[in-house]
């Protein structure tokens, strides 16, 4: 009995002593630029439940499986090149889907801003003005705004619901709209209507200029893509011939394939870099 009391007394004194030294929380590491950029691409493409790490594992698995399947049919060099290209396919598919979604939404944001401005002028509160876009807004954007309405009905916390909306949309224009609404809700003001009208005019001007530039350079970009893909299509046809497969199975043939693959990747990256129009960064994420 005395031993138990002694242990309890010692444990109590240790807890009292420990309470004088508050635990220091380790600062959480900020996500890397690659993780943020990849997360934005996945959100823009509408891919749910898969993070940047999951996409990376998918790319590696696709390339590995493709290389193992082709290894029994074609030389090692060809199988390796095919595995590299196949590994990039999931990322390219997600990226292309995200770009199409961003381009489609770019045409819709002026109407969204106009509807918000009209709802606010009609006397709606800010949460009601945002939630009504789930029914009256563009069809392509009703899903995220419908999720906002559900979140607000469940929690009633306007700021937290706006943060979730920003994460779902992952768009710089949406970030500006959300932050304007948040600032008006927090500090008040009567310039929100003027701000939204100015933003709508700016977005329409940007659409007109961007449309002219894309129309002028579209044939050049498509020609460059065809020039990159044509040699590999010809190579895929030649692989069916035994003498061609035997030639590329040598060390010299493998080196030629590796140099050609590197040149194709570099040329395609340079083409994309030169032809890419400037995108608004998410400075208000």
Q: Give the mean pLDDT of 16-30.
A: 56
Cβ atoms of 137 and 112 closer than 8 Å: yes
Residue 27: pLDDT band (50, 70, 90) is: very low
Q: Which of 262, 241, 245 has the alpha carbon at shortest distance from 253? A: 245
Q: Which of 154, 132, 159 has the alpha carbon at shortest distance from 145? A: 132
Task: Tell me if 134 is assigned to some domain.
Answer: no
Answer yes or no: is pLDDT of 280 > 70: yes
Task: Tell me if 262 is assigned to some domain.
Answer: yes
Q: Give the mean pLDDT of 88-109.
A: 88
Q: Give the mean pLDDT of 253-274.
A: 79
pLDDT at 94: 92
Pairwise CA distance, residues 282 & 41, whole Å:
12
- Among the ranges given (62-71, 79-88, 202-211, 276-285), the one the predictor scored with the smallest mean pLDDT: 276-285
pLDDT tens figures, 219-242? 777 777 788 888 878 877 777 777
pLDDT at 150: 92
Residue 149: CB atoms within 10 A of its CB come to 20
Task: Tell me if 183 is assigned to some domain.
Answer: no
Task: Tell me if 68 is assigned to some domain.
Answer: yes
Residue 13: pLDDT band (50, 70, 90) is: low
Token pair of 62 as six digits? 């696709």
Q: Select the more confidently predicted residue: 50 or 20.
A: 50
Pairwise CA distance, residues 161 & 253, whole Å:
58
Pairwise CA distance, residues 185 & 163, whole Å:
14
Task: Tell me if 23 is assigned to some domain.
Answer: no
pTM here is: 0.69
Pairwise CA distance, residues 245 & 237, whole Å:
11
Task: Tell me if 94 is assigned to some domain.
Answer: yes
Phi-psi region of 31 (alpha: psi -120 to 50; beta: other; left: phi over 0): beta
What domain count does the chain have?
Answer: 1
Pairwise CA distance, residues 67 & 255, whole Å:
17
Task: Tell me if 204 is assigned to some domain.
Answer: yes
pLDDT tens figures, 116-129? 888 888 888 888 88
Answer yes or no: is pLDDT of 7 > 50: yes
Pairwise CA distance, residues 247 & 242, whole Å:
9
pLDDT tens figures, 68-94? 887 777 777 777 778 888 888 899 899
| Domain housing 260 | 34-123+190-275
pLDDT tens figures, 155-195? 888 888 998 998 888 888 888 888 888 887 777 666 777 88
Task: Tell me if 128 is assigned to some domain.
Answer: no
As a whole number, the mean pLDDT across the chain is: 80
């Amino acid at each position: 009995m005395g031993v138990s009391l002694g242990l309890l007394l010692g444990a109590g004194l240790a807890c009292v002593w420990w309470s004088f030294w508050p635990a220091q929380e380790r600062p959480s590491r900020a996500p890397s630029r690659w993780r943020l950029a990849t997360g934005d691409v996945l959100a823009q493409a509408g891919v749910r439940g898969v993070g940047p790490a999951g996409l990376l594992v998918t790319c590696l698995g696709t390339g590995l499986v493709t290389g193992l399947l082709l290894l029994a049919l074609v030389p090692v060099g060809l199988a390796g090149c095919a595995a590299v290209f196949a590994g990039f396919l999931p990322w390219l598919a997600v990226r292309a889907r995200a770009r199409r979604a961003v381009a489609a939404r770019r045409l819709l944001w002026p109407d969204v801003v106009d509807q918000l401005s009209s709802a606010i002028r009609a006397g709606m509160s800010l949460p009601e003005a945002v939630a009504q876009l789930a029914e009256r807004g563009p069809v392509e954007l009703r899903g995220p705004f419908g999720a906002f309405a559900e979140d607000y009905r469940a929690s009633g916390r306007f700021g937290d619901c706006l943060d979730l909306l920003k994460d779902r949309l992952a768009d710089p224009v949406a970030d500006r709209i959300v932050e304007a609404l948040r600032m008006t809700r927090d500090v008040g003001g009567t310039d929100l209507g003027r701000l939204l009208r100015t933003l709508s005019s700016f977005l329409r001007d940007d659409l007109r200029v961007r449309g002219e530039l894309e129309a002028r350079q579209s044939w050049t970009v498509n020609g460059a893509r065809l020039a990159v893909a044509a040699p590999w299509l010809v190579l895929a046809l030649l692989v069916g011939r035994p003498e061609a497969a035997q030639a590329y199975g040598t060390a010299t043939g493998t080196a030629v394939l590796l140099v050609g693959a590197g040149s194709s990747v570099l040329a395609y990256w340079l083409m994309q870099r030169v032809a890419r129009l400037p995108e608004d960064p998410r400075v208000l994420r």
